[in-house]
Amino acid sequence: MSEVRIGVYVCHCGKNIGGVINPAKVAEYASTLPNVVVARDYVYMCSSPGQSLIEEDIRKYNLNRVIVAACSPRMHEPTFQGVLKRAGLNPWLLQMVNIREHDTWVHEDTPDKAEEKAKELVAAAVARAAHLYEITTEKFPVIKSAVVIGGGIAGIRASLDLANAGIKVYLIEKKQSIGGKMAQLDKTFPTLDCSQCILTPLMVDVSRHPNIDIYAYSEVVDVSGSAGNFKVKVKLKPTYVDWSKCTGCGTCVEKCPGRAPREFDEGLGVRKAIYFEFAQAVPRRPVIDPKHCLWFTKGICRVCEKVCPVKAIDYGQEERYVELNVGAIIVAIGYELYDLSRLKEYGYGRFKNVISGLQLERLSSADGPTRGKIVRPSDGREPKTVGIVLCAGSRDEKHVRYCCRFGCAAAIKHIYYIKHAIPDAKVLVFYTDVRAFGKGYEEFYQKYRSEDNVFFIRGRPAEIFEDKDGSLIFDVYDSNTGQLINVKADLVVLEGAVVPPKDWEALRRVLKVSCDPGGFALELHPKLRPFETTSDGVFLAGAIQGPKDIPDTVAHAAAAAAAAIGFLAKGYVESVPYLAVVNDEVCSGCGLCVSVCPYDAITIEEREGRRVAKVNSIRCKGCGACAATCPSGAMQQNYFTDTQIISEVVSLAGGAK
Amino acid sequence: MSKFLLFLGCTIPTKQYAYEISVRSVLPRLGVELVEFPEAGCCGFPLKGLNKKAWIYMSARILSIASKKGLPILALCNGCDTSLRKIKDLLKHDEILREEIAKLLEDEGVKLNLNAGVYHTLEVLHDFIGVEKIKSQVRRPLNGIKIASYPGCHMLRPSDIPRPEDPVEPRKFDSVLRALGAEVGYYPDKGGCCGATILPYSAKHALLIVAAKLKTIKDYGFDGISTSCPYCMEMIDAKQDAARSEVGDESISIPAFYLTQLVGLAMGLSPKELGLNLNVSPIESILEKLGVSLYE
Amino acid sequence: MALEVKLLDSKILREVRELVRPHNPQYCYQCAKCTSACTATKVIPDYKPHLIVALTRLGLIKGLLDSGIIWACTECWKCSEYCPQDVAPVEVVIALKNLSVAMGYKPPEDLKMMAKNVVELGYISPPIEVLSKEFEMYSRSALSLPELVKPYIHEGTAKNLKKLLGGIYE
């Protein structure tokens, strides 16, 4: 590459550029610059004839650098790089100059100055082009397997799709059974399917699939390695039962004298100290809760050990760790309900008969604390007047700013639960806006607002008080009729706000995933890439990316799986071209670069008695922080070397002409 | 912290004397030194409807004078306490307004300074003196007497600035009452309003508001009510008779006390030292239970 | 009779927004939680904080100011405490109260008296004698309370207050 031979191509971009400046003049100016062999202008450089123009010129004039002055490289850098490749040139000998977004689009009112600026920018690019060099990327093999974190409907769907595509899946679930929130629901809207009836077959499919290994009662504690080659460290929490011996017969649970509030029933029901999460659990294996087990707390009992036919009880079991080597990670850990006791004015947590929507699901469920009878927690009596409060904590600057998305549809479903169980009940739904956006939702809403003794009140209760008999009394203003209504309700259901799970904060740091203002996982692009993250190989499935109902969760999870399959199918990952490169001879091993690298891509090595920085080409994302920090200039960044940048700056400072 | 500027506001020094009397008797005995603050005047709270800046001006003035003296302010009235804290917060974030107010203050030779600490009677009793100390000073426990705490709107709200109490479930007030041996309990809308602010607009409706509160408290079996705001006391005590006639409900008859009066009673102080002869509501029943004569 | 659209105007809203900073009445989505909490509306049904915010947003406040209903607010601050959009209806009402006084509307007579007393005496009312249980009248000194120090209000401060409060207590 001794002689630098540059071709400059100035695009009109229709009227975007051509309507403000005269591209021909810019091209004419460019032809006077050093090393420029040919300079042309054309109306749409990215079009087929435009591209051919460049390709032919490369061959005809033996060009070894190409400058395209047009739109942003984010739009067409790959397009023009394609042209270079077809003409046999390394794609990184292309330099794009942005004279649209950076020039004509922002300087429309001063076209003369805009044209001057275009010339200066092109001149700077010409100066830089002389210092461009060929860049090749490295390919690394990926491991055709994936870890799915979270065993709710999102994790289940993603796992099945991955497994069906021939990819080995490790499904990590922190509870003792997969199923997630969907297992706790009675029915799903708007079809009113029995939730467990549609979920459990999928759970069984997961457990039977030869490509899926379930790690239940386990958590991801660390992730190292890089995209395509992750090392995921999983903690297997002690269950105190040897699950490989256990047959799930349930005798231990039957005989256990210990009691504790049942988490699966959102605190409403009671379970034993040794327990299955729910009857249809997958895996169907029990866990001992040391906080409520008589052996762990008082040193007595051990009945479960005595009655177990296969001697599976193991009080001394300790936590174990496994390291899984996988190519991709899908995060599917779902959501949690906002702590409703923080809505102090509603009395959740203080008044027994103020419950959450999820608690109502448990009351209504056949396997719930009341076997499906909807009753008041305070006295077990059937409620005759029920108030449902929408947006409890949602769309609220003091609590959770965003909409929970499925609260409205859930409330309509709850009308059905209550009226179906207690036909003469009066149901009051306190709403602000009803969001019935999904398929079949409007029909669902129409049906249940047409029921007898169902009243939609457009107003939000402010303070709820308790009456002497445990009923709730409060005023609410109905803005539809302009009336203040004094309500005495036997039961109040809060459709609460939705937040990311508590353990997400620690997990996302391990995965290097950012979060959005609500705390949910930050997607790569909210419209076009909602199931990918800025961390290659890490995908998002379900509500962890933002509140969703089941149809959207499943679609999202399938999309994440498809993206992961695509990522793994290639068989390799490529390093970024803008890699950081160390000049070994100059590097003193000071380690400043290591401290600023956000991807942990740099290590200091001992080499021939010297300390030298080493860049991991697959972890490096080309952010440039190390190159900017390096005090000696030993660390340079491909395509953004000091020489290249300075040559541009010098040209701009010297001015055109 | 045990030395405070005694900030009376304007209702207490001109009408609600019992609050001042009981505070002067009780707090020094519990180790609090009260320093006179005669130049304080009005905090401007009642005037905010006419002109917000006038309100800000008056509270900023009080804060500035107190800051110069280098002492924290003990506000007896809920409204004064809210005023001073709200203005501190408002001016902290508004430079232009700060300059305007500073200029106005120059006419009195006062330099704008918002540093003075602001505390309410309840805070001093509960957070600084502490319920343990109060309990230790009780000589005449209020056993068997059920008192409804009536903190008042402006002790609880707005809660985005520091308030003496939790906005929805006020606990400190009840803690102090319990330390005196009294029984406490729940009643709906403990944080409710007494209606005093709309006396100028419509006395009738203000009375309807307070009558509803008194009725609820009576319904929940309380023997008496206690408050620590002179506006609230005006409504539940002085205006109790008028409230009763306004709604025509004879059952609305219940003893009302300032919290400091109850603290003093429990400590064994005499009714004269607590201004109890100035209460309008039928407090005799409670005094009888304690074996205290109003005129001793 | 339908309302003509030319009557909708943001001018009053802008003035109110300036007075209620950093709250924003335009965030209100009319959930009516404020009116559900409101102390005043329970006895004065015509007083509705959410409606006052809605009317202010449209600039249709003439009726509100003419009726004087804005003075029915007890300033209990519940609306502001529970409002999910930080609108602080009470602040909007106080702003309207201020604007109405500046425009020449008359506030309640007793309130005017209180303002006059503060400017002239330094307190919202002069010190009075109170009736005790034994039907005696007591003044501060009779109760052994320290005398109030004169002048009750500094001259310069009184002058400034007079200016701020305008001519409302003529």
Residue C156 has pLDDT above 90, yes or no: no
Spatial distance between the Cα atoms of A507 and A504, rounded to a whole number of angstroms = 5
Give the relative orientation of helices B259-267 and B17-29 as an angle to the nearest 10 degrees.
50
pLDDT tops 80 at residue A99: yes
Q: Do A466 and B186 touch (CB under 8 A)?
A: yes
The predicted pLDDT at position A657 comes to: 47
B169 interaction partners in chain A (CB closer than 8 Å): 344, 350
- Determine the average pLDDT of the residues in A310-320: 96
pTM of this prediction?
A: 0.87
Are A353 and A456 in contact by the 8 Å Cβ rule? The answer is no
Dist CA A462 CA C81 (whole Å): 9
> Which residue in chain C is spatially nearest to B294 when comparing CA positions?
C133
Kindly list the residues from chain A whose CB atom is less than 8 angstroms away from the CB atom of residue B186. 466
**Residues in Cβ contact with C51 at an 8 Å cutoff, skipping those fewer than 6 apart:** C35
Instruction: Kindly provide the ipTM of the predicted complex, given to two decimals.
Output: 0.93
Residue with token string 């409804």: B148
- Residue A641 near residue A117 (C-beta atoms within 8 A): no
| Residues B76/B228, Cβ–Cβ less than 8 Å | yes
Instruction: Quote the CA–CA distance of B258 and B72 in Å, as a whole number.
Output: 23
Q: Do the bridges between strand A498-499 and strand A610-615 make them parallel or antiparallel, or are there none, so unpaired?
A: unpaired
Residue partners of A565: CB distance under 8 A and separation at least 6? A161, A162, A165, A167
Backbone angles phi, psi at B217, to 5 degrees: -65, -40
Q: Which two tokens stand for residue B142?
A: 């209020």
Residue A656: its pLDDT value, please? 46
pLDDT of res. B296: 66
Query: Which chain A residues touch C41 with a CB distance below 8 Å?
Result: 477, 484
Which residue shows structure tokens 């670069």?
A: A593
Angstrom distance (rounded) from CA B265 to CA B274: 8
d(C-alpha B19, C-alpha B3), whole Å? 19
Please give the share of chain A, as a percent, with pLDDT higher than 70: 99
The mean pLDDT of A553-580, rounded to a whole number, is 95
Average pLDDT over residues A606-633: 92
**In B99-184, which ranges are E strands?**
118-120, 147-150
Q: Position A314: which residue type?
A: D
Q: How much is the pLDDT for B133?
A: 96
CA angle, residues B142, B143, B145, in degrees to nearest 5:
75
CA–CA–CA angle B252, B256, B257 (5° rounding): 175
Percent of chain A topping pLDDT 90: 95
Position C41 scores a pLDDT of 97
Q: What is the pLDDT confidence band of residue C167, given thresholds at 50, 70 and 90?
A: low
Average pLDDT over residues A463-482: 96
Q: Which of B157, B160, B168 to mutate to test the interface with A (most CBs of A within 10 A)?
A: B168
Predicted confidence (pLDDT) at residue B88 exceeds the cutoff of 60: yes
Q: Which of A345, A467, A468 sits opposite B168 (nearest CB)?
A: A345
pLDDT in tens, A353-401: 999 999 999 999 999 999 999 999 999 999 999 999 999 999 999 999 9
Q: CB-based contact (8 Å) between C22 and chain B?
A: yes
Q: What is the C-alpha to C-alpha distance for residues C54 and C47, in angstroms, rounded to an integer?
A: 13
How many Cα atoms occupy the beta-carbon half-sphere of A529 within 13 Å? 13
CB A143 within 8 A of CB A325: yes
Nearest to B51 among C43, C44, C101 (CB): C101
Specify the pLDDT at position A218: 98
C107-110, long-range: CB within 8 Å, 24+ apart, which pairs?
C107/B49, C107/B50, C107/B200, C107/C71, C107/C168, C108/B200, C108/B201, C108/C68, C108/C71, C109/B200, C110/B199, C110/B200
pLDDT(A300) > 50: yes
- pLDDT beyond 60 at C146: yes
Question: Mind listing the pLDDT tens digit for each residue in A57-84?
Answer: 999 999 999 999 999 999 999 999 999 9
Q: What is the band of A599 on the pLDDT scale with cuts at 50, 70, 90?
A: confident
Residue B31 has pLDDT above 50, yes or no: yes
Subunit contact A474:C36, Cβ cutoff 8 A: yes
Per the prediction, chain A carries an average pLDDT of 95
Q: Cα B150 from chain centroid?
A: 10
Residue A600: band (very low, low, confident or very high) from pLDDT cuts 50, 70, 90:
confident
pLDDT-wise least confident of A144-158, A500-514, C3-17: C3-17
List CB contacts (< 8 A) between C82 and chain A.
345, 462-463
Q: What is the secondary structure of chain C as a DSSP string? A: -PPPGGG--SHHHHHHHHHHTT--GGG-----HHHHH-TGGGT-TT--HHHHHHHHHHT--HHHHHHTGGGG-----HHHHH-TT---HHHHHHHHHHHHHHHTPPPPHHHHHHHHHHHHHSSSS----EE-TTS-EE-TGGGTPPPPPSSSS-HHHHHHHHHHHTTTT-
Cβ–Cβ below 8 Å for B166 and A344: yes
| Confidence band of C121 (pLDDT split at 50, 70, 90) | confident
For Cα atoms A82, A84, A89, give the angle at the middle one, nearest 5 degrees: 135
The pLDDT value recorded for residue A598 is: 86
- Write the DSSP string, A395-430: T-TTS--S--SSHHHHHHHHHHHHHHHSTT-EEEEE
What pLDDT is attached to residue A655?
Answer: 52
Minimal CA separation from B86 to chain C, in Å = 13
Question: Residue C169 — pLDDT band, cuts 50, 70, 90?
Answer: low
